[in-house]
Amino acid sequence: MPKTALITGASSGLGAEFARQLAATGADLVLVARDREALDRVAAKVRARYGVAVEVLPADLLKRRHLARVVARVSDAERPIDLLVNNAGFGLRLDFAANDIEDEVKHLHLHVEVPMRLSHAALGQMLPRGRGRIINVASVAGFIPRATYGACKGWLISFSRWANDRYAARGVTTTAVCPGYTHTNFHQRMGLAPGKEGVPAWMWLDARTVVAEGLRDAAHGKAVSVPSLRYRALIALTRLVPASVAIRFGERGR
């Protein structure tokens, strides 16, 4: 297990769950998110329950100087990061033409450029040591056409596959964790109340299960982790149907 893990988007949802499960293994943490108060609450609970060291690093990753601080922390060879979890993200409505283009640019930046920069920084200090892990939280949407969200997550999956193949032999693995719909506050941040997401009950996953399976697959050096058999089956099915059918399936839910 890693000695120190840095997690972006750590103030809630999957990020906070990664923090809890990694702390349970004895890993020290560096928690990154915009909301200092929310980070402090997560950090206090983790310290009290697991007795690990927790560093709080407030940062809005859409701001260059904030992102530079996080890149510098990941690059710090004197305080090495053994596991990087690129989890920060947000969703947009599926109607690209109706969305504000500046929101779309921010969406692209947070889902692609930020993990790319942080992964580059992590590789820079992990490869010389010959060990390390990177987890990129992607999505089942990366396998199915789903507006720019699916496109961004598809980039993460492709990059993770390549990076894992390229650097695993040198001791650094990269895993794209690809959950389906998961009970977090992700949809509420889009203004959708619980139960109003347009998603059937059977499609929902539990955050604890997603993180546990993702960490297990990362520990085994897998390039792609798709938590739950039902979503692995759905991905396989979409490969067999016409693209138009897969696109309509991808439009389900919000």
pLDDT at 190: 42
Tokens 């560093």 correspond to: 55
pLDDT at 5: 98
Which of the 8 DSSP states describes residue 203? G
The residue length of the chain stands at 254
Residue in 122, 62, 55 with CA at minimum distance from that of residue 89:
62
pLDDT digits (tens, 9 = 90+) for 70-122: 999 999 999 999 999 999 999 999 899 999 999 999 999 999 999 999 999 99
Q: How far apart are CA 153 and CA 111, in angstroms?
A: 7
Residue in 136, 140, 141 with CA at minimum distance from that of residue 161:
136
pLDDT at 196: 43
Where helices occur in the chain by DSSP H, the ranges are 13-24, 36-50, 64-75, 101-108, 114-126, 147-167, 207-219, 229-238, 243-250
pLDDT at 192: 43
Mean pLDDT of all residues belonging to the chain: 89
pLDDT digits (tens, 9 = 90+) for 173-189: 999 999 988 766 554 54
34: pLDDT strictly greater than 60: yes
Contact residues for 16 (Cβ-Cβ < 8 A; gap 6+): 10, 42
Q: What six digits make up the tokens of 168?
A: 């695993």
Task: Please list the active-site residues.
Answer: 149
- Percent helix, percent strand, percent coil in the chain, to nearest 5: 55, 15, 30
